[in-house]
A and B are shown apart, each in its own frame.
Chain A
Amino acid sequence: MTYDAKIDRLPIFALFDLKGPQEALSKWAKDTPAFPKGPNKLTHKASATLCHIGPRRWLLRDDLENEATWSASLNPEEAPADISIVRVSDTQTFFRITGPDASEVMSIGCTLDLHPAVFADDAVSYTEFFGCKALVLRCEHGFDCAVEQSFGNMIKDFLNRATA
């Protein structure tokens, strides 16, 4: 059985790991998208996405060409002591799974309920994907899924086998 799904390994994104009290972060990081209203939710502003991925923890994602702009805007070196901003762009590999059977492919490797009624367009979460910790969010016609860079080739192989 084959699935009608397309697998793409995306180029590196600009990623910043933001930790600390939301009030302090929103005061310091003024150019980010609005902070999401709940856990495991995301917000967009232009090409940037802000994901609430843990208690007092957010992940900012944008296109790689905007990395320098974000570095200058977030200014991690000068950040107050109660917040932490770390550039983690090169630590994650993103896969894009799109097509009519994208959710079927996701369900092979992921235990999370990804039905739109449960995992809506503004949902994002770390979960398990083919045994690895992975960030899962929706994209147009499918899902984006990020794993640690070192697991990238393995996950690519698993996805190829799943859709072969």
Chain B
Amino acid sequence: MMNIPCPFCGPRNEAEFAFGGPVKPHRPDPNAVSEVEWTQYITTVPNPLGPVEERWWHVKGCGTWLTIWRDTRTHDIVEGPGDAG
């Protein structure tokens, strides 16, 4: 069970949250990229072995949407790589 840091409520149990999916990369201009790149954008969900940026909704709490980096190997909430997160 994860303890997710809500910016309003502080750390809360994962059960209070709804998973909002991984943060998708920036939407490319469909006219400026190849069909392969566009198809990859609309069909491929980020699923790395390691830190992934995710959206979570504090649905049973204050209602805040938040973004965290979660390590898919350990479920630890980690710092984002580089200047992200």
Residues A96-134 near B (CB distance < 8 A): 111-112, 125-128, 132-134
A57 at the interface (CB under 8 A from B): yes
Cβ-defined contact, A55 with B62, below 8 A: yes
A55 vs B63: C-alpha distance in the bound complex, in angstroms? 8
Cβ-defined contact, B13 with A55, below 8 A: no
B60 at the interface (CB under 8 A from A): yes
Chain B facing A: main interface SS: loop
Set A55, A111, A125: member contacting B64, Cβ < 8 A: A55
Q: Mark B1-29, 1 if CB is under 8 A from A, else 0.
A: 00000001100110110000000000000
Chain B residues with CB under 8 Å of A126's CB are: 60-63
Q: Mark B47-58, 1 if CB is under 8 A from A, else 0.
A: 000000000000
A133 vs B13: C-alpha distance in the bound complex, in angstroms? 13
Cβ-defined contact, B13 with A125, below 8 A: no
Chain B residues with CB under 8 Å of A54's CB are: 8, 62-64
A71 at the interface (CB under 8 A from B): no
Contacts A111-B15, A127-B16, A128-B16 given: A55-B60 contact, CB under 8 Å? no
A134 vs B16: C-alpha distance in the bound complex, in angstroms? 10
Shortest CB distance A72–B (Å): 29
A12 vs B8: C-alpha distance in the bound complex, in angstroms? 28
Cβ-defined contact, A128 with B64, below 8 A: no
A57 vs B9: C-alpha distance in the bound complex, in angstroms? 13
Shortest CB distance B42–A (Å): 32
Cβ-defined contact, A53 with B16, below 8 A: no
Shortest CB distance B57–A (Å): 12
Cβ-defined contact, A111 with B16, below 8 A: yes
Cβ-defined contact, B13 with A39, below 8 A: no
A40 vs B63: C-alpha distance in the bound complex, in angstroms? 13
Chain A residues with CB under 8 Å of B15's CB are: 111, 128
Contacts A39-B8, A55-B8 given: A111-B13 contact, CB under 8 Å? yes
Cβ-defined contact, A133 with B59, below 8 A: yes
Cβ-defined contact, B60 with A127, below 8 A: yes
Shortest beta-carbon contacts, A-B, top 9: A54-B62, A111-B13, A133-B60, A128-B60, A39-B8, A126-B61, A54-B63, A128-B16, A128-B15
Residues of B within 8 A of A (CB): 8-9, 12-13, 15-16, 59-64
Given A57-B62, A111-B13: 7 more A-B contacts, CB < 8 Å: A40-B8, A54-B63, A111-B12, A111-B15, A112-B12, A112-B13, A126-B62
